[in-house]
Amino acid sequence: MLTLSKLNIRAAVAGVALAVALASPALHAQWVPERTQVIVPFAFEVGSTHFAPGTYILSNAGEHVVLVQNGKHSALTMSSPEMAPKPPATSKVVFHRYGNQYFLREIWRTGDPDYLSCQESKDERSLRREMHQDNRASISPESNVEVALLQLPR
C-alpha cells in the first residue's frame, strides 16, 4: 500500500523528469559557438535583410536567437531546436532556394542530431505560396542548398 509520502516522492520525481525532458531540446540547441564562420557563394536573405555573397559569422544572440553578421551588415533570426533521425557527417548551414533567391533555414553541427531551424521570413512564405499557386511553375520548385560551416580559431 502506498502512503502519502510515497505518492509525494513519486509525483516529485515525475515532475523533475518532465522538466528535464522539456528543457533538453533547448539546452542541446544552444550550440552555435561565438566564432562560427560560413562562406556563402550566393546572395541570401535572413528575415528582411539581404546579404551579398561573402564570409559571415554565426553566433547565439540569446535563447532561440541567431545573429548573422559580416563587417557591414547583421541580422537576427528566431530559431527553434529540432532533432533529426541521423546526425550529419559535416557541420553545415542549409538554405531554401526558390528560383534565384536563397533563405537561411537550418544550422547543423557534425555528429549532432540536434540542429537549429530558422524562422521562415515573410518574403520566403510569399514566394512559397506563389510557387504553389502558379501552375505554370514560373518559380523553380523549392530546393535545399548546403554550405559547410568553418570553426575559427580562438
Q: DSSP labels for 71-123?
A: SS-EEEEEEEEEE-SS--SS-EEEEEEETTEEEEEEEE-TT-SEEEEEPPPHH
Tell me how far CA of residue 91 lies from CA of 38, 66, 87, 126, in angstroms.
10, 16, 10, 29
CA–CA gap between residue 64 and residue 45 (Å, rounded)? 18
Q: List pLDDT tens digits, range 37-64.
A: 999 999 999 999 999 999 999 998 888 8
| Domain locations along the chain | 1-29, 31-151
pTM of the model: 0.72
Cell reading at 82: 529540432
